[in-house]
Amino acid sequence: MANTLTGLIPTIYTALDSVSREQVGFIPAVARNSKAEAAALDQNVTAPVAPIAKTVDIVPGPTAAGSAEQTISTVEVKISKSKMAPVQWNGEEQMAMGSAGSYNLLLADQFKQAFRALANEVEAQITQAFQSQLDEASSKNNTLEAQLYQEMIGSRFNSSTFIKDNLAIPADLVQARFGQAFNIEAGKVVATDAAGNKVFSRRRPGEMAEFDEALEYLIEQYPHKDHILKASGHSGGGSQQTQPPLGQKTLKRSAFDALDSGSKQAALKDGMSIVD
């Protein structure tokens, strides 16, 4: 027996009326043309796109004020999926439910679920397209942030007078250990201590510390500072020689053990010798 849909039209419209008002997610934000009869699966369709409207002041006169000319652009749309949600009954099932008087209600609910399933397919595809664009933009933003960080903070480590004059380890190791304490806020380099408090200048009360002053403060709070500071030049009982011989790169094991894994790898790659 062939399927006859005429008797189902009222039920389908009842279900469609319910589901079509459930406008959530990305679906209301995109254009829809359900009358592209000529479009087939994997076929491209050229759809017109209306430009953003601009407002003008109303001026009394025989003609409209301003120019109403617009350039209509187009976008290529590909029919990538052709889906259906089957709703199937046989005669015996329909008779059994019909005698209870709940067949039409259940059938309407089935069509509602079918429309929802199809809407969810569309929503998922639109979300995937937006997510791809969002991921691409996020990746570009992260790359730009890394470049900005290296330009504004990495360059300060490399050119730091305090590091050159006072520390016995190279600038890249200092950055590997203390770089996470520096951030960029409103285009300026700002340092924070281990407790997350911003480092203010001791020379200019009320102002943020400049890079070298902030780094000096952070190293003062570092438990193993004696192992990375250059020797003071004192000798005799009780003095501690921390300056390695000229041309030799050494680092005490206690200071090496205090570094994170990235800093340890950087030290070894830089030819640093670990001494007890």
* Cα–Cα separations (whole angstroms), residue 257 to 221, 225, 252, 263, 275: 17, 13, 9, 10, 11
Q: How does pLDDT run across 100-143, given as a tens digit for each residue?
A: 677 888 888 888 888 888 888 888 888 888 888 888 889 888 88
Whether residue 110 is found in the same domain as residue 230 = no
With 60 as the cut, is the pLDDT of residue 245 above it? no
One-letter identity of residue 56: V
Whether residue 143 is found in the same domain as residue 180 = no
Whether residue 17 is found in the same domain as residue 136 = yes
Q: How does pLDDT run across 16-52, given as a tens digit for each residue?
A: 666 665 666 666 666 666 665 666 788 888 888 888 8
| pTM for this prediction | 0.41
Whether residue 153 is found in the same domain as residue 183 = no
For residues 189 and 211, is the Cβ–Cβ distance under 8 A? yes
Last residue of a domain, one of 158, 179, 202: 158
Domain limits at 216? 167-275
Q: Which residues, including other chains, have CB under 8 Å from residue 175's CB and lie 6 or more apart?
A: 153, 154, 157
Last residue of a domain, one of 158, 191, 207: 158
Q: Sign of torsion, CA 138 139 141 142?
A: positive
